[in-house]
Structure 1
Amino acid sequence: MKKGNQYEGIIYKIEFPNKGIMIIEEESGKTERLMIKNALPGQRVRAVVTKRRKGKSEGRILEILEKSPAEMDGGYCAHFGICGGCLYQSIPYEEQLKIKEGQVKALLDNVCSNYVFDGIKASPMIDGYRNKMEYSFGDEYKDGPLCLGMHKRGSFYDVVTVEDCRIVHPDFTKVLLATKDFFAQTKTGFYKKMQRTGYLRHLLVRRAVKTGEILVALVTTTQLDAFSETFPVGEEKNMEDCERELLNQWKEKITQLPLEGKLAGILHTKNDSLADVVQDDGTEILYGQDYFYEELLGLKFQISPFSFFQTNSLGAEVLYETARNYIGETKDKIVFDLYSGTGTIAQIAAPVAKKVVGVEIIEEAVEAARMNARRNGLENCEFVAGDVLKVIEDLQDKPDLIILDPPRDGVHPKALGKIIDFGVEKMVYVSCKPTSLARDLVLLQERGYKVERVCCVDMFPGTANVETVCLLTRIK
């Protein structure tokens, strides 16, 4: 098998998260695996080898020759296969759950044994479940008209306007289209990553499922000359005045939309970072406030524009209820919630615990956690701002129970070693990336912990992602 070779075959399985596997039989009789991203099990495809390294081959799809028998004939998003988001949307939901359950079980079986696998729990909502979207400005093809939406699958530059997206509430689409149309009419330029020039970067929309409150943030550069054609500069106008006028006109456009929910705030965020990420280098409130409220399991949470909060609110209730069941009795116990975000799990565990200590690196999220705890009448919660690796040794309390909810890359090995050194009887690990969980479980087991129970929770219908909750106990 060589780079550039083309093959036809059937994808016999898909490994987490999106690695379709085709078996190629060479003329010599030798068989090899070709890994093809974004292929579905059962599809017959024509693919080209794009990478060959250390005996492993990767490829990309040139043509789908036959659909998977598991795929539906219709009823899915108009952007399916174009937008880079929902890989599994053409597959019935029950089959999606089986695929994700099998992927996680296969990963964990490679590193664990003699544990109870509690299967997978479905999301309460399949469509319209997301409470947050980060849209990008761009064009669908080079020098094409302005687009606002998601990157095309496999493209770093091209953007598709996702006006028919199925995983968001219709209010998202109204804000999306109104924003795109406004800036297209005013001929405002978007930020071009290679040239590092332009004004418009991202549109952030957050909408609470329980309260219906909506927060909208326009993310731009500080390159004010990007809309000089729209507002010519004269003796009585400078570029800052032009920007103010432009933003006020956009704000009025959004406030007049017939939304089902209620606008909590409209914001303007500046970001001159070279990285293609939504980053806050300064935020101004154009309307309302810079936060909104969501409710989970009877508790109320204030959420700021850039703080972490699970993107599926109803699914988060299933996830945290599962974690709470694994945590078990917390009466008179000190609980550490590491990588605590806005303190959601900490506050769910707090009502009967002696004390809960949360550690989170993002200071904005820590402040939100403190406010949320006060709002929910929880006086036994303490939240510390800092990197878990650096601050864990300085904590005054000693835990009886530890909850881990790290980012996608999992726990830093040195931090995990320090966590293990506490010697708690029980840990609950909540993971948004099962490959990272499987890696961390190796060290945890080597250092004296046993995997007792594992349960998957589907927070992302239509996509390849899944959450996993794992209960570990210390071997005596």
Structure 2
Amino acid sequence: MARKKKIIEVEIIDTIFPNKSIGKYEDQTIIFKGGIKGQKVKVLLNRRKKNYIEAKLLEILERSPLEKNILCSDVKDCGGCAYQTLLYEDELKLKEEQVLALFEKEEIKELNYLGIEKSPRVEGYRNKMEYTFGDEIKGGPLVLGLHRRGRFYEIIDTDGCNIADKDFTLIRKRVMKYFREINTAFYNKRTHEGILRHLVIRKALSTRDILINLVTTSQGEVDPNNFTKELLSIHGLEGKIVGILHTINDGLADVVKADKLNLLHGREYIIEEILGLKFKISPFSFFQTNTFGAERLYSIVRDFIEDEKTNIVFDLYSGTGTIAQILSPVCEKVIGIEIIEEAVEMAIENAKLNGLHNVDFISGDVFEEVDKLKEKPDLIIIDPPRDGIHPKAINKIINFAPQTFIYVSCNPITLVRDLKIFMDKGYKIDKMKLMDMFPRTPHVEAVTRLVRELS
């Protein structure tokens, strides 16, 4: 019998979504985050569950036969990616198998599954990177990069990152060098002392606009003129820096938020173009991190509408209104609901930017706001957060009884859970397609079309 807190060696015999591995030890099932089928690993046994033991991955002892690819020099240390060592075709196959296994487990068989679509870019596809200031070893030199795998306090210099845009690496390295030279202290998450917290870079991949946001505490000063001058002197950028911001954040949580926001140079937004429409993206706007992948994702949504009559469309969990605006040319009216007020403000602004007059956006909780809608929708688009549709809201949404729902999900686990409720209420899955928006990570988007069965 395996003991709690014991370190053991196991071979990964299978994986399940999202990026969880299964091994066997003394007739016990061991499940832990990370790993690839076929690897031999060292794990630490933790909590005992009903049918398995939860463990923590400590070390990869032997590589899997599937691992044929090493394009990132930081693959052993960085916690950002899971599948850097797989060929892209094998990564897609793995994601596909894991998602379909979720449907099989719940005995959802009639899927009309249309396959998984590749990301248009596999390398350099991210249009946003959030870097953290810290040190790689205690007392070592200042580092600006990503968290070490499985560690909260250690940061590594991610010089070999291949999913970030090349301009991000140039900017990150220059900023790290600048603050090293003037000996500026990073914010220590243990003592809550220090200045430098994060560097957030966004780039519009179509227009090549670059927005840089330095996040610090108020415990020290950053010379705005020298910092701006340093950034604007960077040579070799493919894009153009259109805005430089300085955010003050004195919160204890390790998240980027603004107690105060100062504009140091240019403007506070970039402009991205998708499917002929323009979108202003501010420092804290949500926008898909894979621009060209988002074009394919939204094209799938548009294709799933087919040629049916779509006079009135509800876009629930509408974010910054991207889907609503892309659908507006083929609809009489689109109504979007989103709880984040800033996102709604940006959606309204973007609709004006694109000259769209048949889209309305409502700021509020979907659970509450759907009760206030008087229109009868022909189609409802649902694009909820990772937690899926709120249990109290799902029946209200289904009770609108449109002929068609299109459910866009970034979490197949909650998608399957929600789809079962739709099916119990008289809808069937007409078709489903996966879109790989996040190469080298375990995440994947799913688009499902549901139609009401004739009674």
TM-score range with shorter-chain normalisation?
Answer: over 0.9
- 2:310 and 2:378 in contact (8 A); partners too: no
- 1:294 and 1:303 in contact (8 A); partners too: yes
Is 1:14 the counterpart of 2:9? The answer is: no
Match of 1:429 in 2: 407
TM-aligned CA deviation for residue 396 of structure 1: 3.6
Is 1:287 the counterpart of 2:265? The answer is: yes
TM-aligned CA deviation for residue 330 of structure 1: 5.9
Matched residue of 2:323: which SS? helix
For residue 137 of structure 1, the aligned residue among 133, 138, 160 is 133
TM-aligned CA deviation for residue 344 of structure 1: 0.9
TM-aligned CA deviation for residue 50 of structure 1: 2.4
Match of 1:300 in 2: 278
- 1:330 and 1:353 in contact (8 A); partners too: no
For residue 182 of structure 1, the aligned residue among 159, 178, 185 is 178
- 1:2 and 1:52 in contact (8 A); partners too: no
Segment drifting more, 441-450 vs 123-132: 441-450
- 2:186 and 2:194 in contact (8 A); partners too: yes
Segment drifting more, 447-456 vs 159-168: 447-456
- 1:198-209 aligned at under 5 Å gives the runs 198-209=194-205
TM-score (norm 1): 0.92
Once residues 103 and 456 of structure 1 are traced to their aligned partners in structure 2, the CA distance between those partners, rounded to angstroms, is 12
Once residues 394 and 270 of structure 1 are traced to their aligned partners in structure 2, the CA distance between those partners, rounded to angstroms, is 38
Moved beyond 3 Å, runs of 4+: 329-332
Match of 1:235 in 2: none
Is 1:93 the counterpart of 2:91? The answer is: no
TM-aligned CA deviation for residue 420 of structure 1: 1.2
For residue 453 of structure 1, the aligned residue among 424, 427, 431 is 431
Is 1:102 the counterpart of 2:102? The answer is: no
TM-aligned CA deviation for residue 256 of structure 1: 1.0
Once residues 449 and 280 of structure 1 are traced to their aligned partners in structure 2, the CA distance between those partners, rounded to angstroms, is 43
- 2:70 and 2:84 in contact (8 A); partners too: no
- 1:175 and 1:254 in contact (8 A); partners too: yes
Match of 1:146 in 2: 142
Is 1:263 the counterpart of 2:241? The answer is: yes
For residue 347 of structure 1, the aligned residue among 325, 336, 341 is 325
Match of 1:238 in 2: none
Matched residue of 2:184: which SS? coil
Match of 2:230 in 1: 253
Match of 1:164 in 2: 160
For residue 79 of structure 1, the aligned residue among 74, 96, 118 is 74
Once residues 193 and 395 of structure 2 are traced to their aligned partners in structure 1, the CA distance between those partners, rounded to angstroms, is 44
For residue 120 of structure 1, the aligned residue among 113, 116, 120 is 116
Once residues 129 and 399 of structure 1 are traced to their aligned partners in structure 2, the CA distance between those partners, rounded to angstroms, is 36
Once residues 395 and 184 of structure 1 are traced to their aligned partners in structure 2, the CA distance between those partners, rounded to angstroms, is 55
Question: Deviations for 1:270-316, whole angstroms, at most 9, x for unmatched residues?
Answer: 22222211112221110000011111111111111111111000111
TM-aligned CA deviation for residue 88 of structure 1: 0.2
- 1:18-97 aligned at under 5 Å gives the runs 18-24=19-25, 26=26, 31-72=27-68, 75-97=70-92
For residue 327 of structure 1, the aligned residue among 299, 305, 315 is 305
The letter of the residue matching 1:69 is P
Once residues 396 and 219 of structure 1 are traced to their aligned partners in structure 2, the CA distance between those partners, rounded to angstroms, is 43
Once residues 223 and 467 of structure 1 are traced to their aligned partners in structure 2, the CA distance between those partners, rounded to angstroms, is 41
TM-score (norm 2): 0.96
- 2:29 and 2:51 in contact (8 A); partners too: no
Match of 2:210 in 1: 214
- 1:451 and 1:472 in contact (8 A); partners too: yes
Once residues 378 and 212 of structure 2 are traced to their aligned partners in structure 1, the CA distance between those partners, rounded to angstroms, is 41
* Total equivalences in the alignment: 451
Question: Deviations for 1:219-261, whole angstroms, at most 9, x for unmatched residues?
Answer: 112223xxxxxxxxxxxxxxxxxx26x2321111111112110
Identity, % of aligned positions: 49
- 1:366 and 1:383 in contact (8 A); partners too: yes
TM-aligned CA deviation for residue 143 of structure 1: 2.2
* RMSD of Structure 2 on Structure 1 (CA): 1.5
The letter of the residue matching 1:114 is E
In structure 2, relative to structure 1, the CA distance for the partners of 1:330 and 1:261 (3 Å cut) is farther
In structure 2, relative to structure 1, the CA distance for the partners of 1:96 and 1:332 (3 Å cut) is closer
TM-aligned CA deviation for residue 331 of structure 1: 4.6
The letter of the residue matching 1:99 is L
Residue ranges of structure 1 left out of the alignment (5+ in a row): 225-242
Once residues 143 and 446 of structure 1 are traced to their aligned partners in structure 2, the CA distance between those partners, rounded to angstroms, is 58
The letter of the residue matching 2:131 is Y
- 1:330 and 1:349 in contact (8 A); partners too: no
Residue ranges of structure 2 left out of the alignment (5+ in a row): none
TM-aligned CA deviation for residue 113 of structure 1: 2.3
Matched residue of 2:64: which SS? coil
